[in-house]
Structure 1
Amino acid sequence: MEERHKKVLQRNRINLVKDMDPADVFDLLIEKGVFTSDMIDEIKQAGTKRDQARELVRDLETRGSRAFPLFLECLHEVGQHDLANLLQNGAPAIHLQPATPTQVVRPTVRPLPVSNPMDIERQRKDVPIYPIQRPSTSPSPSPERDSIRPRPLGRPRRDSIQSYKMDASPCGYCLIINNVLFDSESGLSKRTGSNVDCDKLERRFKSLNFYVEVKTNLKQRQIKHALGALSKEDHSQYDCCVVIILSHGTEVSHSRFPGAVYGVDGLYVPVQHITNYLNGQHCPSLQGKPKLFFIQACGGGEKDIGFEMSPDEELSSKGGIDDQTDAIPMSSSSDSLSMSDEPDAKVTLPTPSDILVSYSTFPGFVSWRDPKSGSWYVETLDRVLEENADTDDLVTMLMMVNHEVSQNAALGCFKQMPGSFNFLRKLLYFQTRS
């Protein structure tokens, strides 16, 4: 599809997802050769009508230069004129050229010469008889034969990634652990502004149709108990599970997911242990379903001063003199782990499929938080979800968060770079109530 037509679809994606009934145009799109019936069947598996519309619009961009005008024709033919006009007004005039007919070259038919029967008989006697040469069973190779490889039979190639089913009501559990006040013996400071983060995320995930539970100021063993209880819930009727942890953090040795978060008693829980509670082995009712972890905590004690950039790049003025970090120096020992953690640390676990861990900062670096408005990461995440959850998948939105947070500067020089470890197998679109 031409770039200008892609941009028209992208600008009008919200209206298409909200107002289009994709079932009306499926048959016509197959008829006109825009999609095959197998492709339409995959789009139908996306879930709700809105999910199917979103998948259809996204896949249209991959279907060649004639896809856009043929899609307009389909919308007009099924009576969705408002949508067709909306797209038509945003695009240059389109004139569909009929497909060029293939010219058939027919051989010239000439009459056979008439021969005298006696001449034919004489010719037969004069022709010598040679042994019959049988064709070889192994044809000789040729450049043309070697370069053309037939497509292997079997499963058809997928033209698009599928989406997770996300239409249960509620969609699933969302556990928020908000650690603000730490024991004096822990040596950890009060996390002023974290309640602002917590309130934002509680409202946001309720609006995305999750059942939200908030737990405040948990010690290490209480964090583990809360995660264990969540893993024992029956998630069979839900489509997703979310865990959000707002706390101080540190860098620890790891084999899969970096970092650890602190309980208010100053003892930490490694992030890879946190994800283990909900993996396919420990929580069977979440097998094949997305498990999302959002970690607002430092990944270590380093402060990133950034690097000199092009003057064309625009820097945000976000970041103030009072900004604080959630950093604790790296701990490479297991002093803060109880003996009961040893078996869990040594057990071999399956590949963490369907898990995404989003970190507020790059492993090893601090994460900045404003005492009044909350952390850079949560503030940006909340806004991006509000503005884009209607149309974009989670991974795309997290990339937006990465970009926006990377533009901020604390104390005039310090930077922050969020990131994620993504083991999702499909696209994830949240439910929205608009």
Structure 2
Amino acid sequence: MNNKDRKLLKTNHLYLLNNLEIERVIEVLYEDARDILQDEDVAVLKSKATLREKRKALLELLPRRGPQAFQAFCDALEHENVKQKYIVDQLLGRATTPEGASSNVQETRQIEEGISQIAISGASGEPSGPSTPATVSLDDTDGPIQVNVEPCTEKFFHNMNSQEICYTMVKQPRGLACVVSNTVFDASTELKDKPRNGGKVDLKNITTLFKKLGFVVRELCDKTAKEIKDGIQSFANDEAHKTANCCVVVMMSHGVPEHIYGRDGQLVNIPNIINMFNNTNCTPLRGKPKLFFFQACRGETVDKGTAVPAVPDSGSLLPSNFLENAIGQDEPDGAPDQPSNTDMLICYPTQLGNVSFRNPACGSWFIQALTKVFMNRAKDQTVLSMMTTVNRLVSENTASTSDPAYRGGKQSSECIHRLGKELYFFPGITK
């Protein structure tokens, strides 16, 4: 590999570490470029514990594999099974400036160093008012996401849609999606100098994603707390839910435990928002899946992670006949009516009490992961399966900052699962 190509890989090292569909790239290189990747190379790459380690190992190997290695790598990225031509554009300088990024040299350098912001909450419990977000830098700059949702096949749709264990997802559009995104805050608030840089990237990614998954998306941008509550209540009352198969609510802003901020610095209670869509308050959505995604801090604790020792797999902690050993008869604890909050999936970017990280040029870790996973895997995976992958991807990120309070920060997203059936989006199916 010549010096020019080596320099391109080195310059874009962080970008590649966070974007490569490494498993697919390895497969394509192995099949199409045996002089670049051989059996022992594949074995070494696949032995790495994390995707990041696999990407790093491949990037270290490529410069040692001759003058054709860089072109073979680019060809693999453009292969139909990888579909990462946008990375080739980035390597060759053809990529566009991410939304929210600056073309100013000094500001661009700051972005490359990872200057970002996160919202920090007050004490746990009922917040008395806004607290000031702190500035935190991240080293995981991913670049813009080209949102292209892979379609479901007719065969897979017919195999799964005919089963009673799956929610019905056949309408076109599938349903309505409401996306709340606050990125700037009123001059009268303590948040006035803390814009959510990168929030517009999140908005673009998430709205494009759900449009391509078959939803009609409605946006509520830079609204006050009252405007958010009134807007979502109006959305919950929409007659279109009667004929819809599904409903999605996305809310992105600064936050504290169980609340997000309106543009005016007032708080919106998250449980109250969720209750607008329960079986009592939103009867047209009874029995239909309702998905909630929140992007905001849930506290001020910075999770620095911990070393996890290898533990032999000892199997299940419960005996195989655990339920069979129960004695007596089950009795209902209440009336046999349907519970109020069924058929819901409630997803948060971080655990209660913890901060959530966001990059100014590329958006939040959580929304980036959500977009990437859903657009590639909604074709044949359930929402719960995809969210497991999202959780893993988010947890693999690490914050880098000059502030020791946040350096090495980790994040673990989580979901509250109340779905009663398997949920597939069946993207591209119009029947």
Instruction: Give the distance between the partners of 1:422 and 1:242, measured in 2 at CA.
Output: 15
Secondary structure of 1:204 counterpart: helix
Change (3 A) 1:398 1:280: same
Matches within 5 A, 1:47-86: 50-54=156-160
2:173 matched to 1:174? no
Give SS of 1:177's match. strand
Q: Distance in 1 between matches of 2:277 and 2:159?
A: 31
> What are the Cα deviations for residues 15-54 of structure 1, in whole angstroms up to 9, with x where unaligned?
9x7264xxxxxxxxxxxxxxxxxxxxxxxxxxxxx43424
Moved over 6 A (4+): none
User: 3-state SS of the aligned residue for 1:416?
Assistant: coil
> 1:199 Cα deviation (Å)?
0.2
Question: Is 1:371 aligned with 2:377?
Answer: no
Counterpart of 2:226 in structure 1 is 221
Aligned to 1:244: 250
Indicate the residue corresponding to 1:79 in structure 2.
none
SS in 2 for 1:391: coil
2:198 partner amino acid: G
State yes or no: 1:382 paired with 2:371. Answer: yes
The equivalent position to 2:424 in structure 1, one of 418, 425, 429, is 429
Gaps of 5+ in 2: 1-149, 312-337, 401-406
Aligned partners of 1:311, 1:288: CA distance in 2, in Å?
42
2:153 to 11, 15, 18: 18
Corresponding residue SS for 2:394 = helix
Structure 1 gaps, min length 5: 1-14, 21-49, 57-159, 252-258, 313-348
Which residue in the other structure is 1:194 paired with? 199
Q: Quote the RMSD (CA, aligned, Å).
A: 2.5
TM-score normalised by L of structure 2: 0.54
**1:167 maps to amino acid:** V
How many residue pairs end up in the alignment? Answer: 246
Question: Could you tell me whether the CA contact under 8 Å between 1:161 and 1:427 is conserved in 2?
Answer: no
1:171-207 CA-partner distances (Å, limit 9, x unpaired):
1110111100012332121100000000001110000
Aligned to 1:36: none
How far is the alpha carbon of 1:267 from its aligned partner? 1.1
Question: Which residue identity lines up with residue 173 of structure 1 in the other structure?
Answer: L
> 1:274 is paired with a residue of what secondary structure?
helix
- Could you say if the C-alpha distance between residues 186 and 161 of structure 1 is closer, same or farther in structure 2, counting changes exceeding 3 Å? farther
Task: Describe the superposition over 1:306-351 as per-residue Cα deviations: whole angstroms up to 9, x where unpaired.
Answer: 1023599xxxxxxxxxxxxxxxxxxxxxxxxxxxxxxxxxxxx953
Corresponding residue number in structure 2 for 1:61: none
Taking only the aligned residue pairs, the percentage that are identical comes to 33
Aligned counterparts of 1:311 and 1:413: Cα–Cα separation in 2? 22
Separation (CA, whole Å) in 2 of partners of 1:378 and 1:400: 13
One-letter code aligned to 1:53: N
2:175–2:247 CA contact under 8 A, matched in 1: yes
Distance 2:168 2:348 in 1: 24
Would you say the 8 A contact 1:281–1:350 is kept in 2? no
Q: Does 1:395 align with 2:384?
A: yes
Q: Which amino acid aligns with 1:432?
A: P
Q: Which residue of 2 aligns with 1:283?
A: 282
Structure showing greater Rg: 1
Aligned position for 2:410: 415
- TM-score by structure 1 length? 0.54
Higher RCO structure, 1 or 2 (CA under 8 Å, sep 6+): 2
Task: For residue 427 of structure 1, give the secondary structure of its aligned residue in structure 2.
Answer: coil
The answer to whether the 8 Å contact 1:219/1:264 transfers is: yes
Q: CA deviation digits over 1:233-258, x for unaligned, max 9? A: 1111111110101101101xxxxxxx
What SS is found at the alignment partner of 1:269? strand
For 1:304, the equivalent position in structure 2 comes to 303
Give the whole-Å Cα distance in 1 for the aligned partners of 2:339 and 2:309.
44
The one-character-per-residue Cα deviations of 1:272-313 (angstroms, maximum 9, x if unpaired) are: 10101111111111111111110000111111001023599x
User: Counterpart of 2:90?
Assistant: none
Q: Is the 8 A contact 2:280 2:340 kept in 1?
A: no
Check whether the contact 2:174–2:214 (CA below 8 A) recurs between aligned residues: yes
